[in-house]
Amino acid sequence: MKFTEEHEWLREEDGVIVVGITEHASEQLGDVVFVELPEVGSEVTKDDEICVIESVKAASDILAPLDGEIVEVNDAIVDDPGKVNEDPLGDAWFFKIKPAEPGQMDDYMSEAEYKTFIG
């Protein structure tokens, strides 16, 4: 897994990158009550705002971590946003992206680097 400074995690699965938010992010947000996901098939550019998360404390955007195409979204978290708090590193992934340039993942932190970052 790789981690961004915006508290997203990225995991490669068969050439597709699965993206979610970290446990740290879900704790900071508090109880998640609403999630809006990007459209499947949409082309995104790194740092585009592509998702919205609302919690009892705040609203946040998820930025596209890579250039590419959204190939799948997790409708389960739209139907039950609380899953984001229950299993942020597992079942509560947000979307899958087919990267235009897989090398962009190299720019992100390892788990050890992320733990130091949130320190």
24 torsion bin: left (phi>0), alpha (psi -120 to 50), beta (else):
alpha
Using CA atoms, how far residue 113 sits from 5, 25, 97, in Å, is: 10, 16, 23
Domains of the chain: 2-101 (2.40.50.100)
What is the H or E stretch that residue 40 is in? none
pLDDT in tens, 11-54: 999 999 999 999 999 999 999 999 999 999 999 999 999 999 99
Q: What is the pTM of this model?
A: 0.94
| pLDDT for residue 115 | 95
pLDDT in tens, 52-84: 999 998 899 999 999 999 999 999 999 999 999
The C-alpha atoms of residue 94 and residue 88 are separated, in whole angstroms, by 9
